[in-house]
Amino acid sequence: MFVLETKLRGNPTQFATLDDAIRTAQFIRNKCVRYWMDNQGVGQYDLSKLCTGLAKEFPWAGKLNSMARQASAERAWASIKRFYDNCKAKKPGKKGFPKFKKNCCSVEYKTSGWKLSEDRKHLTFTDGFKAGTFLLMGAEDLHFYPISQIKRIRVVRKADGYYAQFCIEIDREETIRPTGKAVGIDLGLKYFYKATDGTEVENPKFLRKSERKLKRLQRRVSKKQKGSKNRTKAMNHLGRQHLKVSRQRKDWVVKQARALVMSSDFIAYENLQVRNMVRNHHLAKSISDAAWRLFVDWLKYYAQIFGKVQQPVPPQNTTIDCFDCKQPVQKTLSTRTHVCPHCGSVRCRDENAALNILEKGLKLAGLSTVGHTGINASGQNDRYLNQVIGLDKSAG
């Protein structure tokens, strides 16, 4: 599934109608969650059947397109299924019990309830709310795909306007020349990541750089009277700044993930449990600002597109163990240099961890680190493990 996002241009009355549709979708989702709580053994089919009853019971809910109501029920079931899966997997901590949505910002249509113009420049909503026709800003890429491939349209309200996200059914694959290179990366806070080939990517720290402006905008919101228009305007300014930071972070992460995948055939990285790491309140803001999970998700995405191999590695002892002699060397967070008292090895702690990650990743992938023939991402035999990777002890 490929997603294209365009901005909607309309008048305030049309946007107010979209808000009504969003609130209706939120109402249906919350009703489905409540129905599941009150009745034992409720399944996905029961929630879909409930949507029909809600449309008859509440006439204003019937204005929403039938497939949009089904999509809201699917959202409710997705949260319920995630809760069931976490319970079956015996996930430690909270299992993610479904909650009611209070400030939903999107509504999703399937293959009906909307109409796209032939020139792909206008989008018309044809359900009972009759929001009308919107101009699509930045929809040039829609010309490359037939309307039959658009399976869903998601209308999203953001701080700077309303957007339409087109979910296009397409298998995206690209072929590039193999590089014969394998790397291991150690994700961190000082450096965003450090690779075994010596690459050091600085952490951009977008939130830290914008923190002063965010605090000033937050103080303005606090000084305004609750319920006033000035407070609404101040909250919008604050939301726009937060949106800018998130867009900067995402744009940078996507570019870094793409560049790393295109430059390597095999990538090993730490399978970090970010959800547990942010419990450290001294590092939670920095960890969230680093966006490790977002980077890993895009790394997996581009690896699938370009046919590369990505291997997650358990993070235990990757920083502590010495790469040369495999003996543990305890370090604090402030210790930036790995000095092994057993073999005398001295190198950057992040480089030592990256080498351990690559070695573990190759073993988990079934590839030997030295003296054997590897398999590149294209499935062809290639003798790059002992020529390019540089994992042998003499190179360490």
Q: Which pLDDT tens digit goes with each residue over 146-167?
A: 888 999 999 999 999 999 999 9
Q: Which of 6, 124, 23 is nearest to 64 (CA)?
A: 23
- Strand-pair partners of 183: 267
pLDDT at 369: 52
Q: How far is CA 262 from CA 65, 88, 155, 165, 172, in A?
A: 43, 38, 33, 27, 15
Neighbouring residues of 310: CB distance < 8 A, sequence distance ≥ 6: 261, 266, 267, 268, 269, 299, 300, 303
Q: Where are the chain's structural domains?
A: 2-168, 182-202+249-389
Q: Residue 300: is its pLDDT beyond 70?
A: yes
Alpha helices in 89-228 (DSSP H): 206-223
pLDDT of residue 366: 81
With tokens 């009611």, the residue in question is 100
According to DSSP, the residues that pair with 122 across neighbouring strands are: 135
Angle formed by the axes of helices 229-263 and 206-223, nearest 10° = 170
Tens of pLDDT along 76-130?
999 999 999 999 998 888 889 999 999 999 999 999 999 999 888 999 999 999 9
> What three-state secondary structure class fits 241?
helix
Angle at 115 between CA 110 and CA 116, to 5 degrees: 110
d(CA 245, CA 143): 30
State the Cα–Cα distance between residues 351 and 134, nearest whole angstrom: 52
Contact 19, 25 (CB under 8 A): no
Q: Name the pTM for this structure.
A: 0.85
User: What architecture is the 182-202+249-389 domain classified under in CATH?
Assistant: 2-Layer Sandwich (3.30)
If you ran DSSP here, which 8-state letter would residue 328 be given? B
Q: d(Cα 194, Cα 180) in Å, to the nearest integer?
A: 19
- Confirm if 157 and 18 have CB atoms less than 8 A apart: yes
- For the stretch 332-341, pLDDT in tens is 888 888 888 8
- pLDDT tens per residue across span 40-74: 889 999 999 999 999 999 999 999 999 999 999 99
